[in-house]
Chain A
Amino acid sequence: MLIPELIAAQARAEEIVAIEAIAARVLPECTILSKGARGLFLDRLQGLLIALAKDEFGGQFRYERARGTGDRGRIVIEATPAVRDPRGRAQSWQAQQRRAERALRRGSRKEIPGQLSLDDLADRGGLAEERKNIDSGGHDGAARPL
């Protein structure tokens, strides 16, 4: 769900997307999480976005650090097939599919799938598991598999 969210932003020809906005779309439950769980989720999302921007989606978007203390930074979209010549646009979107496939393959090898599946999350214990980690102080702050 994370990569489609980025693709959707590209399709809308958006230039900037806040991490919080991506989080709210990827996981609507985000709004009812405790502050700690929400922070944990945002940490992970941020880590995944930075990794995607460095690897498969390099040149497509970049992560920009927050300027203030209250926000999480943002994604700046640097290129999008949506503004390309219509004659080559479908091929450009298909290239995005190939990038996403590579990211997902890499993700499944390292157990860091870019496509955040709520089903997967549920299979692994879901947010309840996250809460357990927080309650037990088990979170080490590193980006973990989503």
Chain B
Amino acid sequence: MERQDLFDALSDAMRGAVPDDALGGRLGPGRVKSRLLEAHPAERSPDGVEHLLKQVAEGGGLTVQRVGDELWALLGSDEAFFVDGLNPRFWLLHTTASAERLRRLLAQHLLPSPRLDRAWLTGQQLLELDGERRWVRSSFDSATLQPHESGATVPRRWRVQVEGENPDELLELVSCTERYRASAALTAVASVIASPAGGAVEVAADYQGGFVASGDDFHTVAGVLWRALDRYEAYVQMLEESYRLTTSASETMGLTVEGEVATIEFAHEVADLEALVANLFTCREPFRLWAVPREVRPGQWEANAVDLHVGHRLRLELTSRWLRVLLAPETCGNSLARLLANLQHRFDARTQLAPAVAA
């Protein structure tokens, strides 16, 4: 099967015109759900991708079949998932299986692997999704990091979807008001894109790398997804190039340290720093951080942490005003992307990295 054949089959599925016996009845009609995943195969090659896929999928009762160049099918008894591993680090997974089935595959088999993670898109990346905006969604929940938040400074919970013409503008307006700006995190967007056949597709994307597409042409959807993947890859690479701290021996200086400390100046003061520290390092989703934090002086904490996705070290230093993240030379940029995205949705929507100082 060529990639184009898969896109044709997914176009048929989107139109509800998929033959009953497609892939033994495993490819049903419906919206195509896609996920952008960040992967660490032992070897960045098609063989490495296949090996990792077999490791994670076969435990879940799925058969892994290579169906084309850098293209694999994960076949269950009633459903099929397709993994496009053309980029061995950033994969696209597509399926028409139910959202619940996809959720279970991710939660039980793919994401528990230290070699796989979601993509954590920034609000800016969501805004860059192609097409004419149909709706935007914002959600926020401070219960994870600030369980005793009064709601006076930052709304504790927030979920809103704005539909209509230029919905981005309305969310932008809300994010300018003092009362709501801390919680106006951009969570998902949907756009309509014209397809070459004269029809249209609608693509929705969320900040956890999830996409849902409907319409008449998956080829158009694939273009949108590839551009999102390219932007995300560039973002993660930028984080790694800017913030990994490396040391090298030098004849004149003894030791040269290169790279920047990733610094976040909190947009509002942390009301309960101990709660934030305790809840960052619970070893659970979404932060997936292990550490034994210690208070080095009143109001200042440090933690030599391990990102349980991929098992890389990073050091965090924080006060109620700022957070510094020091990445080891090998630390995955996705760790920083995950931290940032989840602070935006759980602490303050305005959370962002201070610009790296150019060398």
Tell yes or no: A86 within 8 A of B by CB: yes
A-B contact count (CB 8 A): 74
Tell yes or no: A111 within 8 A of B by CB: no
Q: How many residues on chain A are close to B (CB under 8 Å)?
A: 31
Also in contact, A101 and B254, with CB within 8 A (given A31-B249, A90-B284) = no
* Contact in complex: A32, B311 (CB < 8 Å): no
A85-126 CB contacts (< 8 Å) to partner B: 86, 89-90, 93-94, 96-97, 100-101, 104, 115, 117, 119
CB contacts (< 8 Å) of A119 on chain B: these are 296, 302
CA distance A3 to B294 in the complex (A): 14
Chain B residue at minimum C-beta to C-beta distance from A102: B292
| Contact size range, B | 20 to 34
B107-136 CB contacts (< 8 Å) to partner A: 107-108, 112, 114
Tell yes or no: B197 within 8 A of A by CB: no
* Contact in complex: A100, B292 (CB < 8 Å): yes
* Contact in complex: A4, B281 (CB < 8 Å): no
CA distance A93 to B283 in the complex (A): 6
CA distance A97 to B108 in the complex (A): 24
CA distance A101 to B281 in the complex (A): 13
* Contact in complex: B306, A7 (CB < 8 Å): yes
Tell yes or no: A13 within 8 A of B by CB: yes
CA distance A117 to B307 in the complex (A): 18
Also in contact, A101 and B306, with CB within 8 A (given A9-B311, A12-B311, A32-B255) = no
Also in contact, A12 and B283, with CB within 8 A (given A7-B306, A93-B308) = no
Tell yes or no: A28 within 8 A of B by CB: yes
CB contacts (< 8 Å) of A31 on chain B: these are 249
Tell yes or no: A129 within 8 A of B by CB: no
Which B residues are closer than 8 A to A by beta carbons?
107-108, 112, 114, 247, 249, 254-255, 281-284, 290-292, 294, 296, 302, 304-308, 310-313, 328-329
Which A residues are closer than 8 A to B by beta carbons?
1, 3-5, 7-14, 25, 28-29, 31-32, 82, 86, 89-90, 93-94, 96-97, 100-101, 104, 115, 117, 119
Q: Lowest 7 CB-CB distances: which A-B pairs, in order? A: A11-B311, A12-B311, A93-B283, A86-B112, A28-B247, A4-B304, A32-B249
Pull 16 A–B residue pairs with CB atoms less than 8 Å apart, ordered by A.
A3-B292, A4-B304, A4-B306, A9-B311, A11-B306, A11-B308, A12-B114, A14-B311, A28-B247, A28-B255, A29-B255, A31-B249, A82-B308, A82-B311, A86-B107, A104-B292
